[in-house]
A and B are shown apart, each in its own frame.
Chain A
Amino acid sequence: MNVAVVGYGTMGKLLAGHLASMDGVRLSAICSTSPKTKPEAERLGARWYADYADMLASCAGLQAVVLALPTHLHRTFAVLAAKSGLHVFCEKPMALSPAECDEMIDACERSGVVLFVGHVLRFFPEYADLRRHVTEGAIGRIAVAHAKRFGPHPGDTSWFVDEAKSGGVLLDMMIHDIDFIRSIMGEVRTVYAFAYKSPGLQYANATLRFSDGAIANLEAMWGYPGPFTTFAELAGDGGIVRSDSNLARPVRILRSSRERREEGVEIPSSPTLRDPYRRQLEHFIDCVRTGSSPIVSARDARQAVAVACAALESVRTGRPVKLGETPNAGTVSEAGGGAGGGGAA
């Protein structure tokens, strides 16, 4: 299968590296406005394109695109790919509003191509494991859940901090946990949220009420001074499951001070043979080949955006937002089932 990576930042490089080494996949092209991409593309055996339309018009035999672009470009690029008959893998979040998501879904449905949004958390072994315990009944019926995602600040000049491009920490970071929690707990009824933003710091906190009454509180932060930290806990009437990234550190490399090359003393690592980024690409390729439904449906990805946008609206208004009440929020009745398939394990 001939695949092109579009956008060559952190995620583009990571995904291109995987695609270039996957059986049955040919990384045909990399599209990036930066000429510095050309030698890197050639090293991976791919052709470099500076212009997306040019690539779509002239890259023979191309079957799928992997969009690793700033979020505000997702809609336009995905719709163009669909119109060219190409399957679409799109980085999360799907887009900046449910309306944009709907355009992408419509275009892909009309062209009969797969639209897969990279909610990679579903492919992380620790999250798949949490989900497995819940579905196997270990904790009974869920009542209260927590999720947290704290990382470094992307830098005040990065496109990530421009909310018009990324949606900020809520759409870029919390979206992971919104999708994951929603995949277990179902449809969101109400969202209440607050946020704080200053140079070098973005913090957002959202409380979700689900249609079956269960409650979740989600936190996301850019500018955390500690190690990248993820945490999730689901408490039910039959027990509790938790996953804490700071407790799952099978390898700790502590360098003596004379050997340190830079500030920072500890490199946390949780090695796995099941690289989640590679596995989500394999899943996408498999869905394209076999026609089976992705475990993260486009509708799931759209609903996650709807919840995040409702949270942004709650931050603006200081009031709870019911899903489906506002033009920008998703509607529960449209939801395509929260379970989203058989898990990522």
Chain B
Amino acid sequence: MKRMKMAVAGLAHSHVRSYLRELAAMADVEVVGLYDDDSTRRDDYARRFGVPAFETLQELLETDASAVVVCSENALHARYVEAAAKAGKHVLCEKPLGISLGEMKRMIDTCRRHGVQLMTAYPCRYLPSVAEAKAAVDRGDIGDVVAVKATNRGRRPGGWFVRKPLSGGGAVLDHTVHVLDLMRWMLRSEPVEVYAEVGALFDRTGDIDDAGIVHVRFASGTNAVLDPSWSRSPSFPVGGDVTLELIGTKGVLELDALGQTNEVCSEASGKTVRAYWGDPMDGPMLRAFIEAVRDGRPVPVTGEDGLRSAAVALAAYEAAERGAPVRIEL
């Protein structure tokens, strides 16, 4: 079997660890190298995962890798993705795809012009619970979906996540995009208007948003609302959630995508945690990317998908600033 060669550019997002682990476990994949501007981080990951480190991005892109996984700080996605595209590599880019509409459109355009595919990393689509919910909606189990309430909450991250020049935004950008992607996917409709309340409320001395409620009106007329806050305290029994409550004309669907948990009470931690035992999602997402690229089929979650969900987060900031709903115009 011919092994697909892949490279990793940008190692800032912690998801890269899971991606490297999953890729290492795939017999038909070879990770030929990795790169990060931070040489300490680069060498550390190279050692831990037994992957060659490259001194420059250019050298990494001169390898015969056919695809690149971009896991840098959000603000650097565009630079990595466009460089990879120009080198003729297909790209899987960590979410959010970018931090401005202009740069995301340019990323999509650059990939198209160089004949490479661009996929946005939305692994939640690959959770069996999410797939089952999507199938139920498609079957019409709850009739037409008329309202949605969702949460994608997490613990407050540190490092570059809370530095706006590198992250492009706080909780609202970080956590709006996953759920928006699921909503677009399940509702088969596009967001047209956004209103939001946004604030730095868990750390009121901070200069990055860590709390918000985002309202989204879809072209279909469905209204949705989501909580993307970094609101899970360290004392809370789970680190985060992905929930969707779909109100339909014939019923209600309640999805707790990470709800397959057991309770673990340990004297070591002094608290009760709910430990996730459900299926992993990163592996199936990487497989979907690899197989699409290998077989020359369109990737299942495109750059366009990344743009459309991130556009909602960006509109949320604008709406909060203006105190008025904002139309999505792409």
Contacts and interface: CB of A to CB of B under 8 A. Distances in A.
Contact of A192 (B195, B212, B232, B235): B195
B211 A144 contact: yes
A240 B249 contact: no
Contact of B252 (A198, A224, A318): A224
Given A146-B227, A217-B227, A318-B325, A198 B249 contact: yes
Contact of A196 (B147, B202, B231, B235): B147
A320 B324 contact: yes
A190 B323 contact: yes
A335 B194 CA distance: 30
Interface residues of A, number: 33
Interface stretch (A16-24, A86-94, A205-213): A205-213
B197 interface: yes
Nearest to A216: B213
A190 B229 contact: no
Given A190-B197, A203-B147, A215 B232 contact: no
A318 B217 CA distance: 10
Interface in A18-42: none
Given A215-B211, A225-B252, A319-B325, A143 B201 contact: yes
Dominant secondary structure of chain A at its interface with chain B = strand
B202 A143 contact: yes
A219 B252 contact: no
A217 B225 contact: yes
A170 to B, nearest CB: 13
A207 B146 CA distance: 18
A217 B223 contact: no
A205 B223 contact: yes
Interface in B111-155: 146-147, 149
B248 to A, nearest CB: 9
A311 interface: no
Contacts of B203: 237
B201 A144 contact: yes
B254 to A, nearest CB: 8
A207 B215 contact: yes
A231 B181 CA distance: 26
B5 to A, nearest CB: 45
A207 B213 CA distance: 7
A52 interface: no
Interface of A: 139, 141, 143-144, 146, 190, 192, 194, 196, 198, 201, 203, 205, 207, 209, 213-215, 217, 219, 221, 224-226, 235-240, 318-320
6 contacts: A144-B201, A214-B201, A215-B197, A226-B252, A235-B233, A319-B324
Interface of B: 146-147, 149, 193, 195, 197, 199, 201-204, 210-213, 215, 217, 223, 225, 227, 229, 231-233, 235-236, 247, 249, 251-252, 323-325
